[in-house]
Structure 1
Amino acid sequence: MKDSGIGGLEAPRAPPQLQLNAVKPSQLATAASAAPRALPAPAITTEPKTGSTPAAKWNTKNLALRLGTDFISAASAAALVAPIISIIDRSIMENASGQRSLVDSLKSSFQTLLRAPHRVIFSKPFALIFAVYGGTYLTANTLDTATSTTRSLPATHVTSGTAKFAASSAANIGICIYKDQVFVRLFGPQGITPRPVTLPSYLLFAARDCMTIFASFNVPPLLGPALSRRVGDEVQRYVSGQTMAQFAAPAAVQLASTPVHLWGLDIYNRPGVTCWRDRWAVVRKNWAVSTAARICRIVPAFGVGGVVNYKVRRGLMEKLV
């Protein structure tokens, strides 16, 4: 150890200073270029999920009034046709059960309607028929309104698809089956205690109603434009293809649905018969007169009633568009 002259020890040396001023700018640039470059951050993009679509805008304009229109048009049509249909239904039931002939029953009921209309209008048959057709028209109308609302279509839109057939059939069959089991008890065979309607009769009545509903609600919107194209403009000045289809389709289907109806009545009226040939003999015997009566019944029910319901609803809906 070297002697510094002070205590015999060498004094500590100061650390050397960094010579920053000795680094040239060109050297800093070279060092910076040699350093690894950071990768750019990937751009984050959000893609719409598969199958997602913008929310459709509902047509809720005057929705409460549109539903009121559905009810008014259905009630108007049902009240108009209920007196005639209740009389015809009674005559068919009494003829099938053997109480009275169809002509005698019609004559007696129409005399009552002319002389004392309140006895018909405030009767149970009238109320049942009003419920059947009022409920059927109302179901079809509200389905049209629901479709026009959810699909943002005009308030006057009328559907003709499976949903309308299913909904109208469910309403019509449900109320009509109740009506039929009341009618067969009221106007069934004399001297026989009324009994419950069996399942086979219910099924036949349901099949009859499905045929009528399909011809009344689904066929006219499809057949109407075709008839309009075939008939001339002179004819369409007085009656449109839609109106012709509304009358023709429900009437034509009665040729096939009346035997189904008579078969269901015969099962109730003659529960002990097991041979289908015996039943078919009765059905064939009453087929012509009953078909004519049911055509006269269905023309007001789904012809006149259908046109009234359609025109009243459309007229009121056009004011709410």
Structure 2
Amino acid sequence: MEHSFWQNLAGDLTAATISASLVAPTVTIIDRALVEKASYHKPLLQSLRSHAHAALKHPRQFLFSRPHGYVFTLYAATYTVANGTETITKQTHPSISDAVTFCCTFLVNVPLGVRKDIRFAQFFGTSSQIDPGRNSPPLLRKTGSAVATGTLLVRDAITIFGSFTLAQRCTDVIPDSLAAHPYSKMIFTQMVVPVLSQIVATPLHLLGLDLYNRQYKIPWADRLAVVRRDLPSATVIRCVRIIPAFGFGCLANTGLRSLFHQ
């Protein structure tokens, strides 16, 4: 019994590592393109093409880069904690397993997600660009960074809720005419509900990036104008982004975990 338990935990870790390896390259490229779009209005398709080409041309350099490392760490930790917590609680406290698993996953994913976004803003945002027409950068306010972090925390809370809790709850409302088998319903909701959550999360994402990139006094009307300007394209690309991260990624993690447990 104990041997099987430790084998399951090893399978949890292996499944999480493989799943994170599958989704991290795509998410890294998309997230960089989103930051560049929000920071200095670089066309999304141009960014996606150039960064994908660079990754394919220099795969080793890309895979061992710091941006890719942040994304891989985020999803590897998220999947590992979700898997391991469920394995442990199903054996020790099965009645509260789902609640504990969600809470632990949330507490790991959100701080790492915000940390990743702040690092991406530093790597690829306006703060990393040199403006030759400005003798010195604008005076930064620490409160701006705190507000940006809080905004991104709310954004991630919406994403996690939509990807884990809401997606599972919605399986019961899927009619049999659309998907008869419970597993088919789970696949459908896991692919659709997280995507729809980005309609709410994307404005917060853009606002958080603007608060970080421009940490000085600006009328809120100007900030909201930037959000409105980039919202349509950013919403589309974040909906696409969520498919590998919390669609295929979660499905791959679940399938591999079941395989290794057997």
The TM-score, its normalising length taken from structure 2, stands at: 0.88
Change (3 A) 1:159 1:251: farther
Shift of 1:275: 1.8
Q: Is the CA contact 1:160–1:221 (under 8 Å) kept in the aligned structure 2?
A: no
Structure 2 residues not aligned, in runs of 5+: 132-136
Amino acid at match of 1:218: T
Q: Is the CA contact 1:83–1:121 (under 8 Å) kept in the aligned structure 2?
A: yes
Aligned pair partner of 1:122 in 64, 82, 86: 64
CA offsets per residue over residues 33-52 of structure 1, 9 Å max, x none? xxxxxxxxxxxxxxxxxxxx
Shift of 1:82: 0.3
Amino acid at match of 2:221: R
Shift of 1:152: 6.4
Aligned equivalent of 2:134: none
Aligned pair partner of 1:140 in 74, 82, 88: 82
Shift of 1:295: 0.9
Alignment of 1:2-81 (within 5 A): 60=2, 62-81=4-23
CA offsets per residue over residues 252-295 of structure 1, 9 Å max, x none? 00000000011011111222243211111110110111111111
- For the pair 1:279 / 2:223, whether they are aligned, the reply is yes
Shift of 1:167: 1.3
Aligned equivalent of 1:198: 145
SS in 2 for 1:274: coil
Alignment of 1:295-310 (within 5 A): 295-310=239-254
Aligned pair partner of 1:188 in 125, 130, 136: 125
- Alignment partners' CA distance in 2, 1:285 and 1:72: 42
Amino acid at match of 1:288: P
Change (3 A) 1:232 1:246: closer
Shift of 1:148: 1.1
Aligned equivalent of 1:109: 51
- Alignment partners' CA distance in 2, 1:218 and 1:289: 27
Change (3 A) 1:270 1:148: same
- Alignment partners' CA distance in 1, 2:179 and 2:167: 18
Aligned equivalent of 1:169: 106
Shift of 1:97: 1.0
CA offsets per residue over residues 67-107 of structure 1, 9 Å max, x none? 11111111111000000000000000011110632222111
Amino acid at match of 1:290: A
- Alignment partners' CA distance in 2, 1:228 and 1:72: 35
Q: Is the CA contact 1:273–1:279 (under 8 Å) kept in the aligned structure 2?
A: no
Change (3 A) 1:159 1:304: farther
Higher relative contact order (CA 8 A, sep 6+): 2
- Alignment partners' CA distance in 1, 2:106 and 2:176: 29
Amino acid at match of 2:189: A
- Alignment partners' CA distance in 1, 2:94 and 2:104: 21
Matched pairs, number? 252
CA offsets per residue over residues 228-268 of structure 1, 9 Å max, x none? 645254xx59x711011111111000000000011011111
SS in 1 for 2:174: helix
Shift of 1:127: 0.8
Aligned equivalent of 1:211: 158
Shift of 1:61: 6.0
Q: Is the CA contact 1:228–1:240 (under 8 Å) kept in the aligned structure 2?
A: no
CA offsets per residue over residues 139-176 of structure 1, 9 Å max, x none? 111111121110469xxxx9543x23321111011211
SS in 1 for 2:42: coil
How large is the Cα RMSD of the aligned pairs?
2.4
Amino acid at match of 1:127: G
SS in 2 for 1:267: helix
- Alignment partners' CA distance in 2, 1:107 and 1:247: 25
Aligned equivalent of 1:91: 33
- Alignment partners' CA distance in 1, 2:179 and 2:223: 46
Q: Is the CA contact 1:228–1:242 (under 8 Å) kept in the aligned structure 2?
A: no
Amino acid at match of 1:289: S
Amino acid at match of 1:187: F
Structure 1 residues not aligned, in runs of 5+: 1-58
Structure having the larger proportion of residues in helix:
2
Change (3 A) 1:122 1:99: farther
